[in-house]
Every structure is written in structure tokens, then in C-alpha cells.
Amino acid sequence: MTAGEILLEARDLRKSYRRGGGVFADGAGGTAAAARFTAVDGVSFALAPGETLAVVGESGCGKTTLARMVLRLVEADAGELRFAGTDLRAAHGEKLRALRRQMQMVFQDPYASLNPRMRVGEIVGEPLAIHEAKQPRTERRERAVEILRRVGLGADALDRYPHEFSGGQRQRIGIARALILRPKLVVADEPVSALDVSVGAQVLLLLQELQSEFGLTYLFISHSLPVVAQMATRIAVMRAGQFVEVGRAEQVLERPEHAYTRELLAAVPGRSES
């Protein structure tokens, strides 16, 4: 990939956290280094417009921390992060705000990610209220209706509350909220893990359709290889904060090179070894 073909680029991203353990965690018998654990350890990747890079690995491997670092919801300790050629880590104020409207997130839990005290129209239109505050409320409402219809919900959803919808419908509301600004990049953090398999499959199909329609680029976080196989153009296998294997989806799934990737594949029910 040349620089002009890269939408998002990360180089040697690192993030560590203080371990739990109470007031004696940094006592005389330990060190500051021993009292921290590394969640993301030297991760690098490049993401081209229109592709889906899936980051797959077991719980606790650092996937979600990486996703939040990309959106500056969590600040990296070290490394470089560039979006459309701009130094994302150095951006602040209005510059960061302008970049953030081009990068949106679909969260894992469709129950916790929607404010239960807000009506759906307010939830979906909230990014417009933040980034296009001068737009009349009637126009925001019209745009909310348009994107809700595109994700399979009608105008009657506007004045209802999240608890009135099923889990799959709530995730569609979350997707509508993420897409109303027409971002370039969508970070999807385990977007179907809280849903039944059949409902999750419908949401994945919707995400694929929206990607094609809106020219979206996805950073897709998942622990499920069957889900990744449906969505990804490339796969990064993550273990203990590091990428242990990165490649085209078919290569990683059919001809894995790393032992850990083979372990993950062997654990998929119904998959026979080739």
C-alpha cells in the first residue's frame, strides 16, 4: 500500500495499565513495571479505503483497547496513528473534532450503548446535534428517519425508547447513529456477540450492504472466526497485546502460519482440519 492508498495507519502502538491489587501493589517487594500490564504491545497496521480489517483473538488480548485507541477514546502511551494522512495523536480541539466526525463506532452491547432516557430520534440525531449544531431540528429529524429506514426501521421508531426494541433492533439503531454523519471509518467492536446467531447474521449482512453502499472502511473487532470469515478482507490475529499473524482472510483461515491461529481455528465447532 502506498501512502495515498492508506486511510488509517498505526505504527508501534502501545498501551499499558496499572494492575489492581490494592495499596500494597507497589510495595518494597515489587517494581513499577511489575505493577503494570501491557494491553497493546507494539501493534502496527495499515487500512485501505473500502476494506475490512478484522482483529480476532480471545477475550483480554487487547482488541477493544486497540479499537478505542484508534478513536482516541483511550490515549496511547506511545506510537503513531495517522488518519487520511493527518497525525491523529497530535490533533486537538476543532481539528480532532473534525477528524472524529469521519470515524464512528458501533459498540458491543446494544443494551448498554443506548441512553434509556432518550428517544430513538434523539439518539440517532445526537451526532448531528454535536457536529452540525446549526442545522434545524426538523432537518436532523428527517436525516434520522432516512438512516433509520436504511437500517430496517421506520419513522415510527423516532419517538420510542430503546427498551421498546429487541436486541437486534437496538443494534440497528446503534448502526444508524454511527452512520448518520456518513463517516469514512467505522470501528465495530464485537457488534453481534450479544445477539442470537440468526439475528447476528442479519446484522452482519446489513453491515456488508452499508459498506458497499456508503463506501465504508471497517476495523472489525471479534473473537469469532466464523463471523470474521464472513466480514473480513484481511485478518489480524491478536494474542497478549500483539499481532501474531496478519494476512488476507482466505490465507489466514485456510493456510494459517502461526500456531495460535491454528489453535483458534481448531476450536471452531464443526471445522475439520485440512
For the chain, 274 residues long, the average pLDDT of each consecutive 10-residue run is 79 90 47 76 96 94 94 95 96 93 91 92 93 88 96 95 95 96 96 91 96 96 91 96 96 95 88 53
Structural domains in the chain, CATH included, are: 1-19+35-102+185-269 (3.40.50.300), 110-182 (no CATH)
The predicted structure's pLDDT at residue 269:
81
Residue 20's pLDDT is what? 66
The C-alpha angle 195, 203, 58, rounded to 5 degrees, equals 55
Q: In which residue are the cell numbers 479499537 written?
A: 67
**pLDDT (0 to 100) of residue 26:** 46
In the chain, the N- to C-terminal Cα span, in Å, equals: 31
> Do the beta carbons of residue 191 and residue 106 sit within 8 Å?
yes
CA distance 70 to 8: 9
Residue with cell 442545522: 135
pLDDT at 25 (0 to 100): 46
- Tell me how long the chain is: 274
223: its cell numbers: 473473537
> Residue 58 half-sphere exposure, CB side, CA atoms within 13 Å?
10
Beta partners for residue 120, in sequence order: none
Q: How far apart are CA 200 and CA 52, in angstroms?
A: 18
CB neighbourhood size of 32 (10 A):
9
pTM (2 decimals)?
A: 0.90
